[in-house]
Amino acid sequence: MSFNLIKTCSATRARAGELVTPHGMVRTPVFLPVGSQATVKTLTPQEIKDIGFDMLLANAYHLYLRPGASVIEEMGGLHNFMGWKGTILTDSGGYQIFSLAGLRQINDEGVSFRSHIDGSQHFITPELAIKIQESLGADIIMVLDECPPSDADFNRVRRAMNRTHLWAARCRQTHRRNDQALFAIVQGGISPELRRKSAEYLTSLDFPGYAIGGLSLGEPKEVTWNITEETVALLPKDKPRYLMGVGSPEDIIEAVSRGIDMFDSALPTRVARNGALFTRQGRVNIENSIYRKMAEPVDPNCICYTCKNFSAAYLHHLFRCGELLALRLATLHNLSFISNLMSDVREAILNDTFASFKDDFLKNYKPTDEKMRISQKQKWLERN
């Protein structure tokens, strides 16, 4: 893997680059649709490609549990298994494992947990996390890290950070495939002091790229952006920076302005399946009665397959009736919205107009209410 930085915005830290991998070149900033179980829900790989994406994310935790990394390896690797010719990044599954709460135990050696599927017992070490991802064959893989809850106290966060550093070094030592890039994950909660220590230690190990983990977990957005900005300043300029778990349009814009190159989140596809569709004015709930007789598309300015062919009234009808097509059309729209947004962002950076683009976008886009967002996030975390 190589990363070529092409342009940095003069008024912000936004930057455009090219990420070259064994399965093609990816233009950054880039958003990765989430295909945790080797599929982006409701869509085919060709549809994802046609929308404009060259890279997606799969989850090693889910694929380890089923069908098993050995099965995928026997099928020729993850690209062949899921029919995706583009770039793939696999998350180690650390976040999913640590979300199991009462089903897992952790020490410096690794983490013991019970499967959320059948209750079977498993023990994952940093070494095994790397071997699993090497078997899957993704282009970019992640170290095993410990992600503490957003409300953890300082000592708890510090212990998690130190363990993340220990595991990162072991992952680095174990990794053998030279056709994969191994990224580190900076932890440290919402403590600037711990974030600085984490960035300093991990950059000393000279990884090909760096992710920022443990944010967007329910903390106020102002805190998210302060920590992101302070952490980015400590990361190498010539390597990609990846903010994990961020996918709302306004958050992508804010993070790009602070120098982030890569994003992933299940949010665009998850909210689509619940009838929430993106527009340049904000999210709309297609099940609201105002759409029952709307002959226009949900977003008249959108050129996606859904908006070019169907009225808002039809989508309203599909969701009200529980039709499966509703999920596909809404997902196509939301991912098309994100793909077009990333293209516009990149063009603005290359033209050195990103600062005004950001101002215009945020002036027109109405985000989800902050209190409601935090409440919904907490409920989602508890369910999962």
CATH number of 2-266, picked from 3.40.50.720, 2.60.40.10, 3.20.20.105, 3.40.640.10:
3.20.20.105
Catalytic residue (choose from 54, 251, 264, 299): 264
Q: Cα–Cα distance between 354 and 197 in angstroms, integer?
A: 31
Residues 14-34 have pLDDT tens digits of: 999 999 999 999 999 999 999
Q: What is the reported pLDDT for 377?
A: 58
User: What's the half-sphere exposure (Cβ side, CA atoms, 13 Å) at 116?
Assistant: 13
Q: What is the DSSP letter of 369?
A: P
Q: What is the CA radius of gyration of the chain?
A: 20
86: three-class secondary structure by DSSP: coil
Q: What is the DSSP letter of 34?
A: B
Q: Cα–Cα distance between 258 and 366 in angstroms, integer?
A: 21
Q: How many beta carbons lie within 10 A of that of residue 10, not counting itself?
A: 9
Q: What is the residue type of 170?
A: R
Q: What is the mean pLDDT of the chain?
A: 95
pTM of the model: 0.95
Q: What is the reported pLDDT for 95?
A: 79
pLDDT band at 102 (very low <50, low <70, confident <90, very high): confident
Q: What is the reported pLDDT for 255?
A: 98
Q: What is the DSSP letter of 248?
A: S
Annotated active-site residue 261? The verdict is no
For residue 260, pLDDT beyond 80:
yes
Catalytic residue (choose from 54, 91, 139, 251): 91
Residues 314-326 have pLDDT tens digits of: 999 999 999 999 9
For residue 379, pLDDT beyond 60:
no
Where helices occur in the chain by DSSP H, the ranges are 45-51, 60-65, 69-74, 78-82, 94-98, 126-136, 154-174, 192-204, 221-232, 249-257, 267-273, 305-309, 312-321, 324-350, 354-364, 370-383
Q: State the span(s) of the chain assigned CATH 3.20.20.105.
A: 2-266
